[in-house]
Amino acid sequence: MGRMVPELAVEDTRERFVYSYRLIYRVQSDHVLILAVIHGRRLLENLQHRLDEQGS
């Protein structure tokens, strides 16, 4: 469910819009990991660095 995050282009990282917010999450085999909840007008600069840290 949700779409691939255009700025990241990673298949297992998805997003949903909830009211004025972007809910960014990673789908894993047995659970879903919430990576970020960001206001829709905010840019995703520096998010890739944070996501890389989450994956390690």
Higher pLDDT, 7 or 23: 23
Phi-psi region of 46 (alpha: psi -120 to 50; beta: other; left: phi over 0): left
Strand order in the sheet with 32-39: 3-4, 13-18, 21-27, 32-39
Q: What's this model's pTM, rounded to 2 decimal places?
A: 0.70
Using the CB atoms, write b or e for 27-47: b if 16+ within 10 Å. eeeeeeeebbebeeeeebeeb
- Reported confidence tier of residue 51, pLDDT bands at 50, 70, 90: low
Q: Quick one: tokens of 47?
A: 């998010």
**Residue listed under structure tokens 């998805």:** 14
How many domains, in total, are found in the chain? Answer: 1
Domain range for 34 = 3-55
pLDDT score of 56 more than 60:
no
